[in-house]
Amino acid sequence: MWSYRSRPRTYGAKPGRLQCLAAILLTALVWAAPHGARAADRPVKIVVLGDSLSAGYGLPVDAAFPARLAQALTAKGIAVQVTNAGVSGDTASGGFGRLAWSVPEGTDAVIVELGANDALRGLDPEVTKAALDGILTKLRDRHIFILLAGMQAPRNMGPDYVRRFDAIYPALASTHRLVFYPFFLDGVATDPKLNQGDGLHPNAAGVDEIVARILPRVEQLITAVRAARAP
């Protein structure tokens, strides 16, 4: 649960076109499989489709969530290629609008981390849900495996809004075949030791905490990808 004394307008600044393109090009590549390995053992290509929480707002590139996730997986001997497709200030509708060029052909799996800015702006939860549903449907149509990272509304938005917004992610998880992580900021939200000065964006230690908590779900996602490759 989290709350604010005042409600900021957005997670990260509204990006320009160049920033959007740069976010896609900032890719963490980790190759741990030998050349010529069996298809099931090839590195799993993962795209993190998100906002500034996953993009690494205020952090060096190598401290952002995709890079730290790749490092954690590599340390466990798991071959992956993790691409940072986070865009600061993005909403679920923004993610839906850029889906085609943010998730290139050949992607095996996508971690969807969107919705925080929708909640901060007080957008209609039905609009957010429809956009996320569109993203999940299009990814599934492309036979891409999905990890949906949930979000919670700030508690100062009022109980009715909180109830409607928080219900989005479990509902989508129940209707789509995917791996579900209920709250991306679990264990990090509202902890000053794990957040930057704005109280919204995780610092380097906060990112590491997110990675440690979500890692078992990411491993589940990778297992599904590898199982689908098996002859």
Residue 118 to residue 114: CA distance in whole angstroms: 8
- Is 149 a domain residue? yes
Arithmetic mean of pLDDT, 165-183: 97
Beta bridge partners, 113, equal 50
- Active-site pick, 90, 108, 201, 208: 201
Catalytic one of 51, 52, 90, 118 = 52
| Phi–psi pair at 200, nearest 5 degrees | -115, -45
Provide the token pair at 68.
């730290």
Q: Which CA distances in Å does 1 have to 155, 166, 207? A: 7, 11, 18
52 annotated active-site: yes
The answer to whether residue 160 sits within a structural domain is yes
Mean pLDDT of 119-147: 98
pLDDT single digits (tens) 2-27: 544 444 556 665 555 545 444 444 44
CATH of the domain at 93: 3.40.50.1110
DSSP calls for 143-181? T-EEEEEP----GGG-HHHHHHHHTHHHHHHHHS-SEEE
Average predicted confidence (pLDDT) for the chain: 89
Residues across the chain: 231
Asked if the structure places residue 123 within a domain, the reply is yes
Give residue 231's pLDDT: 77
pLDDT in tens, 64-111: 999 999 999 999 999 999 999 999 999 999 999 999 999 999 999 999
Active site residue 133: no
78 occurs within a structural domain: yes
* Tens-digit pLDDT profile for residues 107-129: 999 999 999 999 999 999 999 99
CB 52 within 8 A of CB 184: no
Residue at 52 is within a domain: yes
Could you tell me if residue 11 is left (phi over 0), alpha (psi between -120 and 50 degrees) or otherwise beta?
beta
Angle at 53 between CA 87 and CA 140, to 5 degrees: 65
166 is catalytic: no
Q: Is residue 211 in a domain?
A: yes
Q: What is the pTM of this model?
A: 0.86
CB 78 within 8 A of CB 219: yes
Does any domain span residue 213? Answer: yes
